Amino acid sequence: MSRLLPRRRRPPAGSPASAASRCAPARDRPRWRPPPPRWTWTSWPWARSAEDGETDESGVAVDDRPVFRTEKIKGVLLHPYRVLIFVRLIAFTLFVIWRISHKNPDAMWLWVTSICGEFWFGFSWLLDQLPKLNPINRVPDLAVLRQRFDRPDGTSTLPGLDIFVTTADPIKEPILSTANSVLSILAADYPVDRNTCYVSDDSGMLLTYEALAESSKFATLWVPFCRKHGIEPRGPESYFELKSHPYMGRAQDEFVNDRRRVRKEYDEFKARINSLEHDIKQRNDGYNAANAHREGEPRPTWMADGTQWQGTWVDASENHRRGDHAGIVLVLLNHPSHRRQTGPPASADNPLDFSGVDVRLPMLVYVSREKRPGHDHQKKAGAMNALTRASALLSNSPFILNLDCDHYINNSQALRAGICFMVGRDSDTVAFVQFPQRFEGVDPTDLYANHNRIFFDGTLRALDGMQGPIYVGTGCLFRRITVYGFDPPRINVGGPCFPRLAGLFAKTKYEKPGLEMTMAKAKAAPVPAKGKHGFLPLPKKTYGKSDAFVDSIPRASHPSPYAAAAEGIVADEATIVEAVNVTAAAFEKKTGWGKEIGWVYDTVTEDVVTGYRMHIKGWRSRYCSIYPHAFIGTAPINLTERLFQVLRWSTGSLEIFFSKNNPLFGSTYLHPLQRVAYINITTYPFTAIFLIFYTTVPALSFVTGHFIVQRPTTMFYVYLGIVLSTLLVIAVLEVKWAGVTVFEWFRNGQFWMTASCSAYLAAVCQVLTKVIFRRDISFKLTSKLPSGDEKKDPYADLYVVRWTPLMITPIIIIFVNIIGSAVAFAKVLDGEWTHWLKVAGGVFFNFWVLFHLYPFAKGILGKHGKTPVVVLVWWAFTFVITAVLYINIPHMHSSGGKHTTVHGHHGKKFVDAGYYNWP
């Protein structure tokens, strides 16, 4: 794992609240008046509040300060930004009107199709731009959180938090990296007895389990060490990879000694993890040799304690192979005690002095759901739903954090930061808190826009100013009852999010506040009062046949596993048996899992649609971006892997469009601009169809002599000029408020074009095939395995060329454009075209296309592509050959010759596509 932390620019500070609050959603106004006392399903009566008369040192009632602030973007950026969007919209409309009223009788089909394309580019730009009209920054205030929830004696009233880690293959998803993620979770700064880590293993392999067992052993050293010295980050691999270790704790000398010691232990731990596969094999051979067996008899896999492993065996056999094995739930670390436990002082056995340090570890559970052949296990969504049920029985925390196995916690405060948005004032309609995805191991120039900063820091942050960011699959904190299909509390008559607007459309849907209660009463009655449907928003059978699970639902918004344990939920034998039962393959038959409740099924990307289903119920979401980054994962830096990943995402998006979850038909609880954002995210791959046209036809025009625009006028140039220049200025303003760089914007544009002519196009074809012929789409796991030699060059994988048909179209486009400009050049040399200045415009467009496909060209040239010169030489070579051929082959001259200009269509090109943010 190589570490690469791009320094994040500070997000622009907000302007004074008073001036800015005009456009903020009414409920987020920083100017705070005490709300009427009330209590709903989920608001947090367990926090200490002003009513208790508690004050901080300065005498301010603790409840009077919010746990997060909402800051507007500076007016100097925001106002011109909004105005320019408006100006561009008008210029674009005039442009299209001009185009429609100036036909091209030479080539009508060109004229019609190109206008369709331009219309689409403008439309998709608008879809992308409108939801960004109100970007905001939300800043969690950890100090206030601490004050309101942590007690001086070290205990805390923070809500319980279940963390789900999904793994699917201990080889393709290197087990050391998963172990690191788990260690970073165990070491995170959150009350230990309110924090449980669940690891789902879809491979069912002993290897994963034993790696976790090793991790839990190493954690007894690592976690207290982190606490003692305030270590950051708390994933050991990334910590020891740091060049310098700035010291945060109290004892410098001790620290140096302790670190040396822990480092040595970590190296040994790593060695053990790396030899696990071999050890397990050897152990099996030992046992199996002793039980002399005949040929063809099953050879079980043995656990360290001499019992047979229930899951996948190394030598696969009936009932014990991948996709065909029993369910397994194993508690690696049990519920910790509720009281602080300090460690022993230094001694010969334990050289680290933990006498002042809490040595408790959070609960850790291994879950491998049952797998049976012929059963659709629904990949990650199925795993998440199984974990949701199993965790309900074991800890039933009101909040769930979802992390992919390659994402570790990079900032020990991340969990607390996320919780700020869940327990703050007016947070009870928040369904989930999405963190941005950050990656390490990406090449410094980010050739394939892996960081995706425009999408995270721009689009998601802006959506936070609407109804909330979309769910992107990992690094997301959920409210458990939302997963269970509950509606948000409808307190404000007129709607949870946008009282006036939503009220207009949905008057009948809202109930008068019926759940109001005073804080004192709420505290006396910690179990929610009955709603319209009794405790459950849906019939009991929707949740499946497990009384224990259904009984846990009313307590799903209970503050903590601590309290849950007090009510009899502990990891005893019977509970474990029930947990295995609820993860059974057949459990979900004839239930609502994957439909009304839980992560949504039957799609290649469960994330966007799962979040969407919550938003249409009127739930909101929040975006939580902190520095140092909360979580860091790995990204596929190989071109082929990257294209396949984007193919999967774009296919998933289109699938939503062609399903009953099409955002056009979503309920009126969806904020209008949120709906626009969802339409954007489910239609963007269609751009491929038009972009293919625009990247080839203008170049071919040089050969055929027919152009999209016949005779441009001055007004045409004026409109075009405005459309082009505003795009650039808007982009500059946008990167400024998003806190990213113009370079990242260009990279984003480059990858947008690459993906459009490869993955998006394939996605459109694939989904149309599915819709028309009902053929299913299958997908493979994104490999996190470096295929190059990582030691020598951490980015070796970047240039490993793995051929895929996805690469055909971009290659064709590259050649068409080179040939196009070469022919134009030849025609000018030949004297066939005398308006060489106009020709230059067209050639400029060709180069514009080539500029965008440059990273792609570099990628497919593999190792040689490392020197950019090679790419240029190839281009020059093709160019010259074509030009020479053209001039020397007489019959090719015949077709051209019309002195039409080439400016128009070239100018138009894809500038209106708005540089999609979502590769």
Residue 648 touching ligand UPG (CB under 6 A): yes
CB of 1 to Mn ion, least distance (A): 14
CB of 625 to ligand UPG, least distance (A): 17
Tell me whether the omega of the peptide bond preceding residue 233 falls within 30 degrees of 0, making it cis. yes
- Identify the DSSP state of 757: I
Residue 687 touching ligand UPG (CB under 6 A): no
For residue 138 the two structure tokens come to 């939300």
Residue 440 touching ligand UPG (CB under 6 A): no
Residue 167 touching ligand UPG (CB under 6 A): yes
Select 464 or 641, whichever has its Cβ closest to ligand UPG.
641
Select 28 or 588, whichever has its Cβ closest to ligand UPG.
588
Residue 181 touching ligand UPG (CB under 6 A): no
| Residue 464 annotated in active site | no
For residue 601 the two structure tokens come to 């099924």
CB of 784 to Mn ion, least distance (A): 7
225/168 Cα distance (integer angstroms): 30
CB of 758 to ligand UPG, least distance (A): 16
Which range touches ligand UPG (CB under 6 A), out of 125-133, 161-169, 231-239, 660-668? 161-169
CB of 378 to ligand UPG, least distance (A): 8
182/162 Cα distance (integer angstroms): 13
Select 473 or 611, whichever has its Cβ closest to Mn ion.
473
Q: What is the dihedral of CA 740, 242, 239, 233, to 10 degrees?
A: -30
240 burial (CB, 10 Å; 0-12 / 13-18 / 19+) is: middle
CB of 475 to ligand UPG, least distance (A): 8
- Residues in contact with ligand UPG, counted by CB under 6 A, come to a total of 20
Going from the C-alpha of 275 to that of each of 285, 638, 785, the distances in angstroms are: 15, 27, 17
863/403 Cα distance (integer angstroms): 34
Looking only at the bridges linking them, the beta strands covering 438-440 and 399-404 are: unpaired
202 annotated ligand binder: yes
CA 683 to the chain's CA centroid: 18
Going from the C-alpha of 280 to that of each of 194, 209, 210, 368, 818, the distances in angstroms are: 34, 11, 9, 18, 57
User: Residue 380 binds which entry of Mn ion, ligand UPG, none, with Cβ cut-offs from 5 to 8 Å by kind?
Assistant: ligand UPG
Residue 607 touching Mn ion (CB under 5 A): no
Select 167 or 683, whichever has its Cβ closest to Mn ion.
167
User: Residue 621 binds which entry of ligand UPG, Mn ion, none, with Cβ cut-offs from 5 to 8 Å by kind?
Assistant: none
Which range touches Mn ion (CB under 5 A), out of 162-170, 399-407, 661-669, 893-901? 399-407
Which range touches ligand UPG (CB under 6 A), out of 29-37, 165-173, 696-704, 896-904? 165-173
Pick the closest to residue 445 from 865, 876, 919 (CA basis).
865
User: Residue 367 binds which entry of Mn ion, ligand UPG, none, with Cβ cut-offs from 5 to 8 Å by kind?
Assistant: none
792 annotated ligand binder: no
Going from the C-alpha of 229 to that of each of 220, 260, 408, the distances in angstroms are: 15, 13, 20
User: Residue 274 binds which entry of Mn ion, ligand UPG, none, with Cβ cut-offs from 5 to 8 Å by kind?
Assistant: none
228 annotated ligand binder: no
589 annotated ligand binder: no
CB of 636 to Mn ion, least distance (A): 8
Which range touches Mn ion (CB under 5 A), out of 112-120, 401-409, 643-651, 797-805? 401-409
627/629 Cα distance (integer angstroms): 5
User: Residue 734 binds which entry of Mn ion, ligand UPG, none, with Cβ cut-offs from 5 to 8 Å by kind?
Assistant: none
Residue 452 touching ligand UPG (CB under 6 A): no
Residue 781 touching ligand UPG (CB under 6 A): yes
Angle between helices 836-860 and 742-755 (to 10 degrees): 80
Residue 324 touching ligand UPG (CB under 6 A): no
Per-residue binding string, Mn ion, 754-773, x by CB under 5 A, is: --------------------
Q: Which residues contact 254 (CB under 8 A, 6 or more apart)?
A: 353
Q: In the set 118, 202, 744, 797, which binds ligand UPG (CB under 6 A)?
A: 202
> Rule CB under 6 A: which of 378-417 touch ligand UPG?
379-380, 383, 404-405
126/677 Cα distance (integer angstroms): 10
CB of 2 to ligand UPG, least distance (A): 18
Which range touches ligand UPG (CB under 6 A), out of 147-155, 160-168, 229-237, 502-510? 160-168
- Residues in contact with Mn ion, counted by CB under 5 A, come to a total of 1
User: Residue 173 binds which entry of ligand UPG, Mn ion, none, with Cβ cut-offs from 5 to 8 Å by kind?
Assistant: ligand UPG
Residue 607 touching ligand UPG (CB under 6 A): yes
Which range touches Mn ion (CB under 5 A), out of 315-323, 392-400, 404-412, 762-770? 404-412
Q: What is the dihedral of CA 647, 737, 442, 808, to 10 degrees?
A: 30
DSSP symbols for 860-871: HTGGGGGSHHHH
660 burial (CB, 10 Å; 0-12 / 13-18 / 19+) is: exposed
| Residue 607 annotated in active site | yes
173 annotated ligand binder: yes
* Pair 207, 259: CB distance under 8 Å: no
CB of 776 to Mn ion, least distance (A): 22
Q: Which residue is nearest to ligand UPG (CB)?
A: 473
- Name the active-site residue from 162, 169, 202, 457: 202
User: Residue 607 binds which entry of ligand UPG, Mn ion, none, with Cβ cut-offs from 5 to 8 Å by kind?
Assistant: ligand UPG
114/117 Cα distance (integer angstroms): 5
By three-state DSSP, how is residue 908 classified? helix
- Identify the DSSP state of 569: -
Q: In the set 129, 412, 645, 696, which binds ligand UPG (CB under 6 A)?
A: 645
DSSP symbols for 173-225: TTHHHHHHHHHHHHTSSS-GGGEEEEEEETT-BHHHHHHHHHHHHHHHHHHHH
380/399 Cα distance (integer angstroms): 19
* Pair 440, 5: CB distance under 8 Å: yes
CB of 7 to ligand UPG, least distance (A): 23
Q: In the set 162, 169, 210, 404, which binds Mn ion (CB under 5 A)?
A: 404
* Beta strands across the sheet bearing 430-434: 328-333, 363-368, 195-201, 161-167, 399-404, 476-479, 430-434, 620-623
- Name the active-site residue from 28, 358, 487, 607: 607
Residue 641 touching ligand UPG (CB under 6 A): no
For residue 140 the two structure tokens come to 């969690």
For residue 371 the two structure tokens come to 């797998």
Can you say which residues are annotated as belonging to the binding site?
172-173, 202, 379-380, 404
Which residues make up each annotated binding site for UDP-alpha-D-glucose? 172-173, 202, 379
Catalytic amino acids? 202, 607
Q: Which residues of the shown chain bind ligand UPG in the complex (CB under 6 A)?
A: 166-168, 173, 200, 202, 379-380, 383, 404-405, 473-474, 605, 607, 645, 648, 652, 781-782
Specify binding-site residues for Mn(2+): 380, 404
- What is the binding site for Mn ion (CB under 5 A)? 404
